[in-house]
């Protein structure tokens, strides 16, 4: 019988308030990131009417927006 792989902290599902706390923004900003067309929108799961976010998806979203200044 196949056993599902144990979940890790990276697989944790977070709500908008938790993502907001992690990123230092308001929950309404997280909702905008999810709903607005962007080059890479914030991925989410709709479960029981709630929007939940995987920690790994949030980390990838933040990394995709990272900009490194170019020295002149």
Query: Domain ranges in the chain?
Result: 9-64
| Whole-prediction pTM | 0.73
Q: What is the pLDDT of residues 11-38, one digit of tens each?
A: 789 999 999 999 999 999 999 888 875 6
pLDDT at 14: 96
Instruction: In whole angstroms, give the CA distance from residue 27 to residue 12.
Output: 18
DSSP 38: -
- Please say whether the beta carbons of 40 and 64 come within 8 A: yes
């Amino acid at each position: 019988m196949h056993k599902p792989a144990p979940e890790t902290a990276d697989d944790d599902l977070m709500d908008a308030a938790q993502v907001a706390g992690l990123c230092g923004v308001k929950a309404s900003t997280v909702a905008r990131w999810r709903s607005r067309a962007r080059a890479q929108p914030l991925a989410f799961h709709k479960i029981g009417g709630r929007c939940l976010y995987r920690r790994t998806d949030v980390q990838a979203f933040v990394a995709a927006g990272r900009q490194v200044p170019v020295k002149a």
